[in-house]
Amino acid sequence: SGLLESLTASPGDLRKFWSQQRWDSKQFRRKATFFDSLDWEHDLPIPWVLHGDAAPYSEVDSLQVLSFRCMITSKKVACSEFLLAVMPKQGADQNTWAKLWDEIADSFVKLAIGKSGKASLRKGIIMSITGDLEWFSAEFGWPTASSNYPCPFCGADNLFDEAKSVAPFTDMRATAAWRGMLRDPDETQMKKHALWRVPGVSFWTVKLDLLHMADLGVSSHIYGNLLNDIIVEELPGSWESSLVAMNRLIANISQDLDVPSGQRLPKLNKTDIVTPKGYPVLKHIKGTPFRWGSRRNRQTLQQKQKGPAQACTMPSRRDVLQHLRSLRMGV
C-alpha cells in the first residue's frame, strides 16, 4: 500500500476529494446505482484518469498511446503515469484494438468492484477519460471538428452558410444560442465500446481536457493572432524580417527571465503562425509554453493595473509589444 500511495494519493487526500464532489452532477446521477453502493469511508476508491493520445513515431505513422494515472496525485506525470498500451496506428486494425480494449475494460471492472476472482483489490474508479476530439471521434464516434454539428454536448453548429446557421460555435457571448441547446447523452450517437461496461463509466466520463481546450485550443488562436498582428502592424520591414526580429526578441526575453528550456517557445516559422490561407493560429507548439506564457501575462497585467484579473482591460498589441521590449530592456 505504501508504493501505491506514493504513486497516487494519501488516504487524507482521497477523503478530501470525495467529500468535495457534487453528488447531484450528471456524471454521478447517470450511474447512481453503482456510486450509491460504495462504502466511501471504507473503500476510499482511487479516482483514475484514462488518457488516449497520439505520439510521433515516423514520418508516415504515429503511435496510439493509452495510459492512466490518479486524478489527484501530486507526483509529476513521469513518476505517476501507468502505461497501458502503445501501438503504431498503421500496424493495427479495429479488431486488434477491440481485443485490447476488452482486456483493459475487464481490468477496470475488477478495480471498480475491488475483486479479481477470490482476491480483494484496492478499488479504483475511472472518473475521467481524456483526449482530443480526433481521438474521441475515432474511438467513441463523437462528431469531428469539421462536421456541421461538432459538439457532443450541445447544438452548436459549424455551417458555412451563415443564412442557415442558428447557433455558430464561434459565438462566445453570454447570450450565444448554443448555451440553451444542451444535448441529452442519448442525442449523441456513441459507438459500442468495451469501456461502457466498466462500473461508473458513462457519456459524462468522457471529457475534453484543459490542455486541448485552452492551451492548444483558445490560447493557440489568441497567441497566433497576437504574434501575427505584431509582425504585420508593429514591426518594420517585411513579414519575414519581422519574424526574425520577433524570434530574437522572444529568445532574449526567455533568457532574461530564466525560463526553463522545456517551457520556452521554439524558433517560429511562418507556417507555425499562419495557415496557408493566412488564418493566424500558433501550431506545432507543446502545451507547456502556452501555459507558462498565459500565467506570466496574467500576473503582469494584474501588477500593471493593480486589480484582480476580472478588472483587467484588454491590452492593445502595441501595449504587448512595449511590454515585451520592456522585459528585454529591464525597465
CA atoms of 5 and 32, how far apart (whole Å): 27
- Closest by Cα among 66, 67, 58, 137 to 90: 58
pLDDT at 46: 96
pLDDT greater at residue 156 or residue 233 = 156
User: Domain containing 19: what range?
Assistant: 2-142+190-208
219 & 258 share domain:
yes
Bridge-based pairing of strands 124-131 and 46-56 is: parallel
What local confidence, expressed as pLDDT, does residue 330 receive?
Answer: 36
Burial of 131 (0-12, 13-18, 19+ CB in 10 A): buried
CA 221/CA 283 separation, integer angstroms: 9
**154 or 317, higher pLDDT:** 154
- Could you tell me the pLDDT band of residue 108, with boundaries at 50, 70 and 90? very high
Kindly report, residue by residue over 282-294, the tens digit of the pLDDT. Answer: 776 666 655 655 5
Q: Which residues pair with 88 in a beta bridge?
A: 63
Whether residues 246 and 109 share a domain: the answer is: no
Q: How far is CA 163 from the centre of its chain?
A: 32
Count of domains observed in the chain: 3
Helix 317-329 and helix 239-256: axis angle, to 10°?
A: 50
For residue 129, give the nearest of 76, 67, 72 by alpha carbon. Answer: 67
Q: Which of residues 295 and 41 earns the better pLDDT score?
A: 41
What is the per-residue pLDDT across 218-270, written as a single tens digit (0 to 9) for each?
A: 677 777 788 888 888 878 888 888 888 888 887 887 777 777 777 777 788 88
pLDDT: which is higher, 298 or 220: 220
28 and 82 share one domain? yes
How far, in Å, CA of 232 to CA of 242, rounded? 8
State whether 73 and 108 are in the same domain.
yes
201 and 53 in one domain? yes
Out of 73-77, 225-229, 253-257, 308-312, pick the least confident: 308-312
Confirm if 274 and 284 have CB atoms less than 8 A apart: no
- 64 pLDDT higher than 70: yes
Confidence (pLDDT) at 326: 53
Per DSSP (E only), the strands in 12-150 are: 46-56, 62-70, 82-88, 115-116, 119-120, 124-131
Flag the least confident range among 27-36, 61-70, 157-166.
157-166
- pLDDT value at residue 35: 95
Consecutive H or E run containing 271:
helix 270-273
Please report the pLDDT score of residue 284 as a whole number: 66
Find the farthest-apart pair of alpha carbons in the chain and give their distance in angstroms, rounded.
Answer: 74
* Confidence at residue 296, expressed as pLDDT on a 0 to 100 scale: 53
Q: Which residues contact 299 (CB under 8 A, 6 or more apart)?
A: none
Type of residue numbered 61:
D
Assigned C-alpha cell, 91: 500496424
Q: Which of 88-92, 139-143, 168-172, 311-315 has the lowest mean pLDDT?
A: 311-315
Distance CA 132, CA 173 (A): 24
Cell numbers representing residue 167 in the block? 447557433
Are 95 and 230 members of one domain? no
Collect all residues with Cβ–Cβ distance below 8 Å to 175 and sequence separation of at least 6: none
Q: Are residue 36 and residue 110 in the same domain, yes or no?
A: yes
The pLDDT tens digits of the residues spanning 42-53 come to 889 999 999 998
Measured on CA atoms in the order 221, 224, 228, 230, is the torsion positive or negative? Answer: positive
Rounded to whole angstroms, the Cα distance separating 32 from 34 reads: 5
Laid out side by side, the sheet with 62-70 consists of 82-88, 62-70, 46-56, 124-131, 206-208
Residue 121 and residue 98 share a domain: yes
Q: What is the pLDDT of residue 311?
A: 44
Domain identity same for 14 and 155: no
Look at residue 325 and tell me whether its pLDDT is greater than 90.
no
Contact criterion met (CB below 8 Å) for 202 and 185: yes
Q: What is the pLDDT of residues 123-135, one digit of tens each?
A: 999 999 998 888 8
Asked if residue 194 and residue 270 are part of one domain, the reply reads no
306 and 243 housed in the same domain: yes
- Enter the C-alpha cell of residue 296: 506570466
Q: Which of 104-113, 162-171, 182-191, 218-227 has maximum average pLDDT?
A: 104-113
- Asked whether residue 121 falls in the same domain as residue 176, the answer is no
Confidence of residue 331 (pLDDT cuts 50, 70, 90): very low
pLDDT tens per residue across span 177-188: 999 998 887 777
- pLDDT above 60 (res 142): yes
Contact present, 327 and 253 (Cβ < 8 Å): yes
